[in-house]
Amino acid sequence: MRAYTPKNDVQKKSYYTDRYWVAPQVAKSKVEDDAVFAADLKAIEDAKFKVLDSYIQVEQMVVYINPEDNVGVLEVLKNECGYTQLSELSAIDWIADRGGFEVFYQMLSMSKRKRLRVKCFIKEDQAIESVEKLFRSADWAEREMFDMFGIKVNNHPFLKRILMPDDWEGHPLRKTYPLQGDEFAAWYEVDKIFGKEARDIIGPEIRDTARVDRYDTERFARLGHEIPKGSEFDPDKEKTPLAYQEDEGVFLIEGFDEDKSQIVSDRKR
Amino acid sequence: MAQHQVNYMQDGGLPVALTSIDKVVNWGRSNSLWALTYGLACCGIEMMASGASRYDFDRFGTIFRASPRQADIMIVAGTLTKKHAEFIKRLYDQMTEPKWVVSMGSCANTGGMFNTYATVQGVDRVIPVDLYLPGCAPRPESLQYAVMLLQKKIRSEKGIKSQKPKRLM
């Protein structure tokens, strides 16, 4: 059983004083501890590529290289070390801290049963070379990286947005992009379909998710309180029965009587 | 006058019913609501269940059509993204008058839990909606109840006189 700690003053101090929570790092170990990874790292260094940093974390080797070496290093890993799959490729936004992005390539070797991550750091406006010639899976992944972060990829066969519309402005996965969208995003569909002059007519987006106006009969329906759209809602009035037919009946259709109807309680009937 | 014993005014006398044109037209319209298959997300699964054998939408005369030109009612079932907004408008415009729209589920009503940059906060920002169906996702019974309420609404409309086309603006 867990040791008892008094919880009277638990609200008096906050858990985190930092503005942003920084995740603690998982323990790292040296590359020499694993013979397979040590051989892979040696193959990269033998091919005259500069390795800035390397360590093993969660049984995966992480290798930091220069961004201009990315195609060469991945070629060595694919052809000489048996890392035949590029399972993931994307970037991490470090613009506020370090003024650029960290691009990572997650590699998998089926024969060695090892995973390896190649990382490189690029400046905010710096382009990176495409690895699509080596791995076909990089095609869409690089398009997504361009779409979400705005990182230009040189020599990509078809670099255009993949998730957002072609005429979208901004790159949504950057830390500076607001979750609920900027001015352009807020009016995107109105501007595109009706034109900018329709903004006043249609109005801004309602972003309060908890906003429920039970007296608003324009936007909300209430089961059991059916009243026509736009009419006044009287809360004191009795609940209306579940009537989907008019009182005088419907032409050519037998009238529905709630009392005569049978409610089936046995689901397996 | 003929002296036969048939009472014209009674059921079973002769198949004659006296009514107004409005009622006949609305009877036809409300009981053959062909719906456009518009499953955008998980609400679409509930919409498919409504059409399948257990809940059986066919008995309401609601048959799903894959073409907007053959559809009377658009059931917007699911999350509408901003990328897709222009296409829902285009498909709505391709439907022939008279046409109705049911906004099915929280996402279609208000954007639902997707309070993000990429989701349209309610389809009524793009197309005019006749009936909002709450739920996440609504049960097939709810959808059928919604269609029955829509039928009631259609029956109260003018059948013949030229209807003012519904436009958002």
Q: What is the pLDDT of residue B168?
A: 66
Q: Which of A168, A171, A244, A263 to mutate to test the interface with B (most CBs of B within 10 A)?
A: A244
Q: Say yes or no for a CB contact (<8 Å) between A180 and B151.
A: no
Query: What is the rounded CA–CA span in Å between residue B103 and residue B78?
Result: 9
Q: Does position B1 have pLDDT exceeding 60, yes or no?
A: no
Whether A226 sits inside 8 A of B149 (CB atoms) is yes
Contact A202 B155 (CB under 8 A): no
Residues, chain A, total? 269
- Per-residue pLDDT tens over the stretch B66-78: 999 999 999 999 9
Q: How many CA atoms lie within 13 A of A86 on its CB side?
A: 26
Q: Which of B115, B118, B133 sits opposite A207 (nearest CB)?
A: B115
pLDDT tens by residue, chain A, 269 residues: 678 777 666 556 555 555 666 778 889 999 999 999 999 999 999 999 999 999 999 999 999 999 999 999 999 999 999 999 999 999 999 988 889 999 999 999 999 999 999 999 999 999 999 999 999 999 999 999 999 999 999 999 999 999 999 999 999 998 888 888 888 999 999 999 999 998 988 888 888 766 667 677 766 666 566 666 677 777 677 666 656 677 777 777 777 777 787 777 877 76
Residue B36 has pLDDT above 90, yes or no: yes
Mutate to test the interface with A, among B23, B117, B125, B132 (most CBs of A within 10 A): B117
Report the first-to-last Cα separation within chain A, whole angstroms. 49
* C-alpha closest to that of B144 among B12, B50, B72, B27: B50
Contacts of B124 in chain A (CB under 8 A): 219
Cβ separation B27–A252 shorter than 8 A = yes
Residue A257: both structure tokens together: 């009587």
* A221 chain-B contacts, CB cut-off 8 A: 131-134, 149
Residues of chain A with Cβ-Cβ distance to B122 below 8 Å are 206
Mutate to test the interface with A, among B23, B91, B125, B143 (most CBs of A within 10 A): B125
Class of domain B21-155 as given by CATH: alpha beta
Domain range annotation of chain B: 21-155
Contact A251 B151 (CB under 8 A): no
Instruction: Note the pLDDT tens digit of each residue in A111-123.
Output: 999 999 999 999 9
- CATH 3.90.1150.10 given to domain A28-127: no
Contact: B115, A180; criterion CB under 8 Å? yes
List, as one string, the DSSP characters of B68-85: GGG-SEEEEESPPBTTTH
Q: Are strands A28-29 and A51-57 parallel, antiparallel or unpaired?
A: antiparallel
Predicted pLDDT of residue A209: 65
Q: How far is B70 from chain A (nearest CA, A)?
A: 24
Binding-site residues on chain B for chain A (CB distance < 8 A): 17, 19, 23-24, 26-27, 31, 82-83, 85-86, 89, 109-113, 115-118, 120-122, 124-126, 131-134, 142, 145, 148-149, 151-152, 155-156, 168-169
Contact residues, chain B, for A242 at CB < 8 Å: 145
| Long-range own/partner contacts, residues A215-224 (CB < 8 A, 24 or more apart) | A219/B109, A219/B124, A219/B132, A220/B132, A220/B134, A221/B131, A221/B132, A221/B133, A221/B134, A221/B149, A223/B142, A223/B145
Interface of A with B (CB under 8 A): 164-165, 172, 177-182, 185, 188-190, 192-194, 198, 201-202, 205-207, 209, 219-221, 223, 226, 242, 244-246, 250-253
Reference B143, options B6, B31, B30, B35; nearest CA is B35
Distance from CA of A120 to the nearest CA of B (A): 29
Question: What's the pLDDT score for residue B121?
Answer: 92
According to DSSP H, which parts of chain B are helical?
Answer: 21-30, 43-51, 85-94, 105-110, 140-155
What is the rounded average pLDDT of the residues B111-119? 90
